[in-house]
């Protein structure tokens, strides 16, 4: 035996397959400033477009005068709704079945709405031109408070659906009503509440916030008049969907549209939908015959492109006096702003909000969601969450804490008492989902032991006594959150976007020397797909991950996919990758059998190749099989080694986790101190533990921001008062707490590699943990619920209202 023969461990390590903390291959370029983003693109003769935006939240547009703007050196065109009407593009469809003005058509409905598009030879000239466009407005009364939107005398916001008593999702009951969506058994639920020993009812607001990726939304459109082809480089989380939308609304044949998403600097849901900037840049390019770039600035991104949340959830839970939940009833007032531009699967106007029964065995539940229009920016998108799942998780996790408080029970104990038991999976929830797998008790107990939960509760009791004696001005809170996510949209039986089923896809092509390329329908915005997708293939076909190039985002080369959002990439595209790799492996096995002169069934897989059963020295490596695929395939077999898979998942996946936040609050200033944050995630099979940890850190940081101060806030006139990073809370490394991460592994039974997705779990589970910590801190002073965000002055206000400063 040659000593140089690698051991099995060495062969396995060389693959850097699933389970390996492989370093991110994309970071080589990102950390050196060599990424290639949309704004890096410079085409010959490229023009720049920028918007005239409305200073008013609601106003009639009396006139738009572009005369002076067109005299500005470098300004070539000013596009208005009237221009767009000539090509039937003044309005565009939203993903939620509504329509949205591309440019103000007769009126404006939110501050910073797009009114005119100025096209110039450079950005400076475009901005100079903007300042010379004269728009005459007639201000109208505004609707900002969602609870007043459906008052009988509320101003009419949208005039286009006047007289229409039904919209894309059924009947409308008011001129500012978008839809009502209900699910569950109302009668059974009402009966459960009648019989209940204990009930709670609380209006839980999840305030409006924004995904705020560091790279804003942007595009370059280039129309080639000779070929009749339109190329669009953009910050698109779902490039194929954009191509189809453009084909449908611009009437350009889909094969003549090239959509390319280059490197993307964060998306978090903000880059799923279509924005007026894309349409205007495309029209401007068609009109001028030159490439046109549109790049949002920070203020525009925060104030005009899709927000998230703004869900106001009246939450009721029924329970026995022993603490067994018997019913859940939720009514949601959903503020969609001026246009319903939610990026949900088409049939789900409230996303997957019906995951709101959470991790608990509710015998019955009923949910009603009323979508309404207000004079705010349109949306809302899923900000690092599967559709409306963060809202649902907040609703149930705050609700359970409030119930625990009413029952005088420990919130962790209440959860343990009501968890769906391991033997109940697959579990059919009262609101219609089939939870694929879970082991909640193990995760919860591991969390409680890891942080010494009992010890923390003792410390809290002592701290409260010290506070009452006047020895400290700090109060202590423990925020428990146990979330169940629903991700991986999704099965064609219940998920589509504009009629396209939400499958995903992968094409793998192996080259003769044993390297290969995988093209995938998903699109990384920082998630590290180039690293992890190669790891799946490495384990599946025994080729080192380093020898697999992953390519995404070019609609001409990538197979059709529905893009990356809603933690769907690993559950759907990840499955497609594994299935394509298995097709490669199946063909490879036939080639190996031919070359080794045995029957296929006599071969077995061994890390990086096949060996003959019982003859371990008779092997053929995958690398050698790749070579053979190009010169000596079995008679009758086509040469080459490539495969395509389109994967329609049989079910969603259901990641879960147990989080706890330990927080102290100084009642005099409202300043909080996050003492500890422990996050246990179960995302099934773990492809790259380092990337998972990074995803969890990032999502927790967003959750921290959202719960503790990040909001899009409007004043009474509809002016956005949080339009920059000075006032919109974007924590830096200094403010961000230390994160402790942990895990359990409960593989998905229906996913080819058992993975469930993780990117969004920490945002979903983190927010209730923070909010529960604040609420738990104040609870002994007599408080039931304090609305988010929990920034310093609001904490002080809560303390003040609870009489802390009375003495």
Partner 1 sequence: MIPGPFSYHRPASVADAVKLLSTLGDEARPLAGGHSLVPMMKLRLATPEHLVDLHGIAGLKGIRRDGHKIVIGAMTTQHELLASDEIRQSLPILHETALLIADPQVRYRGTIGGNVANGDPGNDMPALMLVLGAFYRLEGPGGGRDIAASDFYQGAYFTALEPGEILTSISIPAGAAGHGYAYEKLKRKVGDYATAAAAVVLTMAGGKVATCAIGLTNLHETPLLATDAAKAVIGTSLDDATLGKAAAAAVAIMAPAADARGPVEYRKHVGGIMVTRALTRAAARAS
The catalytic site residues sit at 237, 384-385, 760
Q: Are 236 and 246 in contact (CB under 8 A)?
A: no
Instruction: Report the nearest approach of partner 1 to the CB of residue 125 (Å).
Output: 9
Measure the CA–CA gap between 208 and 713, rounded to whole angstroms.
7
Shortest distance, position 118 Cβ to partner 1, whole Å: 11
- The residues, ordered by sequence, that sit 6+ positions from 131 with a Cβ below 8 Å of its Cβ are none
**C-beta of 111 vs 685, nearer to partner 1:** 111
Which DSSP letter does residue 572 get? I
Closer residue to partner 1 (CB): 644 or 671? 671
Q: Report whether 290 contacts 231 (CB < 8 A).
A: no
Tokens 């890390």, located at residue: 607
CB of 285 to partner 1, least distance (A): 21
* Shortest Å, Cβ 734 to partner 1: 5
* β-strand partners of 49: 119, 294
- DSSP symbol at 131: T
Reduced to 3 states, what is the DSSP secondary structure of residue 573? helix
Residue 791 DSSP SS3: coil
Q: Which is nearer to partner 1, 461 or 721 (CB)?
A: 721
CB-nearer residue toward partner 1: 117 or 427: 117
Kindly give the residue spans of alpha helices, DSSP state H, lying in 100-200: 123-130, 186-195
Closest distance between partner 1 and the C-beta of residue 333, in Å?
24
- Least distance (Å) from partner 1 to the CB of residue 83? 23
- Residue 345 or residue 789: which is nearer to partner 1 going by CB? 789
Q: For the CA atoms of 760, 763, 769, 773, what is the dihedral angle to 10 degrees?
A: 170
CA 681, CA 659: separation in Å to the nearest integer?
8
460: its two tokens: 């809290």
Minimal CA–CA distance to 308: which of 9, 710, 13, 639? 710
Query: Least distance in Å: CB of 707 to partner 1?
Result: 14
What is the smallest separation between the CB atom of 472 and partner 1, expressed in angstroms?
A: 15
Which residue lies nearer to partner 1 by CB, 698 or 789? 789
> Which residue stretches of 512-656 are H helix?
529-541, 575-596, 622-629
The least CB distance from residue 297 to partner 1, in Å, is 4
Tokens of 651: 């079910």
Under 8 Å between Cβ of 276 and 81:
no
Indicate the residue among 2 and 732 with the shorter CB distance to partner 1: 732
The encoded tokens of residue 631 equal 């010169």
Q: Strand pairing of 229-234 and 99-101?
A: unpaired
Rounded distance between C-alpha atoms, residue 648 and residue 656, angstroms: 22
Give the separation between CA 93 and CA 655, rounded to whole angstroms: 33
Instruction: Closer to partner 1 by CB, 215 or 552: give it.
Output: 215
Is there a contact between 323 and 407 (Cβ–Cβ < 8 Å)?
A: yes
Nearer to partner 1, 23 or 124 (CB): 124
Report phi then psi at 402, rounded to 5. -65, -40
Beta carbons of 651 and 669 less than 8 angstroms apart: no
Q: Measured from the CB of residue 807, what is the shortest distance to partner 1 in angstroms?
A: 13
Query: Which CB, 316 or 474, lies closer to partner 1?
Result: 474
Paired residues of 442 in beta bridges: none
Question: Smallest distance from the beta carbon of 674 to partner 1, in angstroms?
Answer: 14
Quote the CA–CA distance of 265 and 287 in Å, as a whole number: 30
User: What angle separates helix 622-629 from helix 575-596, to the nearest 10 degrees?
Assistant: 80
> 91 with 99: CB under 8 angstroms?
yes
Cβ at position 702, least distance to partner 1 in Å: 15
Instruction: Give 10's strand partners.
Output: none
Q: Which pair of tokens denotes residue 399?
A: 């609700």
For residue 597, what are the contacts with CB-CB under 8 A and spacing of at least 6?
A: none
The closest of 286, 281, 157, 146 to 220, measured between CA atoms, is 281
State the minimum distance, in angstroms, from the CB of residue 358 to partner 1: 32
**Rounded Cα gap, residues 286 and 306, in angstroms:** 26
Q: Which is nearer to partner 1, 334 or 475 (CB)?
A: 475
User: Of 98 and 791, which has the nearer Cβ to partner 1?
Assistant: 791
Contacts with partner 1, residue ranges (CB under 8 A): 50, 123-124, 126-128, 131, 297-299, 668-671, 709, 713, 721-722, 726-727, 729-732, 734-735, 791-793, 796-797
Cα 491 to chain center, whole Å? 18
Q: Is 52 helix (H, G, I), strand (E, B) or coil?
A: strand
Tell me the sheet residues that pair with 509.
517, 642
The 8-class DSSP code of residue 439 comes to: -
Buried b (16+ CB within 10 A) or exposed e, 249-278: bbebeeeebbbbbbbbbbbbbbbbbbbbbb
Q: Are residues 567 and 757 in contact, defined by beta-carbon separation less than 8 angstroms?
A: yes
Q: Which is nearer to partner 1, 210 or 568 (CB)?
A: 210
CB 108 within 8 A of CB 55: no
Element containing residue 445 per DSSP (H, E)? helix 440-451
Which residue has 């889909």 as its token pair? 254
């Amino acid at each position: 035996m040659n000593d140089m023969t690698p051991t099995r461990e060495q062969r396995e390590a060389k693959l850097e397959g699933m389970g390996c903390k492989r370093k991110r291959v994309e970071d080589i370029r990102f950390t050196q400033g060599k990424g290639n983003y949309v704004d890096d693109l410079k085409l010959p003769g490229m023009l720049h477009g920028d918007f005239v935006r409305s200073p008013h939240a609601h106003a009639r547009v009396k006139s738009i005068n572009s005369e002076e703007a067109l005299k500005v050196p470098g300004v070539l065109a000013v596009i208005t709704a009237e221009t767009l009407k000539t090509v039937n593009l003044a309005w565009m469809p939203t993903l939620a079945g509504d329509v949205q003005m591309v440019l103000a058509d007769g009126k404006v409905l939110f501050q910073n709405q797009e009114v005119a598009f100025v096209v110039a030879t450079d950005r400076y000239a475009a901005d100079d031109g903007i300042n010379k466009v004269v728009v005459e407005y007639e201000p109208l009364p505004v609707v900002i408070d969602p609870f007043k939107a459906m008052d009988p005398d509320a101003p009419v916001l949208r005039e286009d659906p006047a007289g229409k008593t039904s919209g894309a999702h059924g009947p409308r009951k008011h001129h500012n009503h978008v839809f009502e969506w209900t699910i569950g058994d109302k009668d059974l639920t009402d009966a459960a509440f009648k019989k209940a020993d204990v009930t709670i009812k609380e209006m839980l607001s999840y305030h409006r916030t924004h995904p705020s990726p560091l790279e804003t939304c942007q595009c370059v459109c280039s129309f080639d008049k000779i070929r009749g082809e339109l190329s669009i480089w953009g910050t698109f989380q779902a490039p194929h969907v954009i191509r189809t939308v453009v084909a449908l609304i611009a009437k350009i044949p889909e094969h003549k549209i090239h959509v390319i998403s280059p490197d993307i600097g964060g998306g978090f849901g903000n880059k799923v939908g279509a924005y007026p900037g894309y349409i205007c840049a495309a029209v401007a390019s068609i009109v001028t015959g030159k490439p046109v770039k549109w790049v949002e600035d920070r203020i525009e991104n925060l104030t005009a492109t899709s927000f998230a949340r703004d869900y106001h959830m009246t939450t009721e839970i029924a329970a026995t006096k022993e603490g067994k939940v018997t019913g859940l009833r939720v009514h949601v007032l959903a503020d969609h702003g001026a246009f319903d531009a939610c990026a949900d699967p088409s049939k789900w106007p409230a996303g997957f909000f019906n995951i709101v029964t959470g991790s608990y065995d509710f015998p019955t539940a009923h949910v009603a969601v009323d979508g309404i229009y207000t004079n705010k920016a349109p949306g809302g998108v899923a900000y690092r969450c599967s559709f409306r799942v963060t809202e649902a998780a907040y609703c149930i996790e705050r609700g359970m804490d409030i119930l625990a408080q009413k029952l005088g029970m420990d919130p962790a104990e209440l959860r343990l008492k009501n968890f769906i038991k391991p033997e109940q999976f697959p579990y059919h929830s009262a609101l219609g989902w089939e939870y694929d797998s879970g082991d909640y008790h193990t995760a919860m107990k591991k969390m409680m032991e890891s942080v010494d939960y009992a010890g923390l509760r003792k410390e809290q009791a002592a701290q409260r006594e010290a506070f009452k004696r006047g020895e400290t001005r700090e109060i202590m809170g423990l925020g428990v959150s146990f979330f169940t996510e629903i991700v991986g949209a999704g099965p064609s039986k219940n998920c589509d976007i504009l009629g396209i089923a939400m499958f995903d896809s992968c094409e793998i092509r192996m080259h003769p020397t044993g390297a290969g390329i995988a093209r995938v329908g998903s699109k990384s915005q920082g998630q590290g797909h180039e690293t992890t997708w190669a790891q799946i293939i490495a384990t599946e076909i025994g080729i080192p991950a380093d020898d697999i190039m992953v390519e995404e985002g070019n609609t001409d080369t990538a197979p059709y996919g529905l893009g990356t959002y809603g933690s769907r990439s690993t559950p759907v595209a990840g499955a497609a990758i594994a299935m394509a790799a298995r097709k490669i492996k199946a063909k490879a096995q036939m080639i190996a059998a031919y070359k080794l002169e045995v029957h296929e069934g006599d071969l077995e897989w061994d890390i990086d190749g096949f060996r003959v059963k019982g003859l371990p020295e008779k092997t053929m490596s995958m690398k050698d099989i790749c070579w053979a695929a190009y010169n000596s395939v079995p008679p009758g077999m086509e040469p080459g080694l490539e495969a395509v898979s389109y994967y329609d998942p049989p079910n969603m996946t259901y990641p879960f986790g147990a989080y706890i936040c330990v927080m102290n609050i100084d009642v005099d200033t409202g300043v909080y101190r996050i003492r500890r944050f422990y996050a246990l995630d179960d995302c099934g099979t773990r492809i790259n533990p380092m990337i998972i940890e990074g995803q969890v850190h990032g999502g927790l940081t967003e959750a921290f921001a959202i719960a503790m101060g990040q909001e899009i806030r409007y004043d009474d006139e509809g002016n956005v008062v949080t339009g920059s990073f000075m006032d919109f809370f974007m924590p830096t490394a200094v403010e961000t707490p230390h994160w402790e991460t942990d895990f359990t592994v409960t593989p998905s039974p229906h996913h080819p590699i058992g993975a469930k997705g993780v990117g969004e779990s920490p945002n979903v589970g983190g927010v209730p943990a923070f909010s529960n910590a604040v609420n738990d801190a104040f609870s002994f002073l007599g408080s039931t619920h304090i609305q988010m965000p929990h920034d310093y002055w609001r904490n002080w206000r809560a303390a003040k209202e609870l009489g802390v400063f009375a003495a």
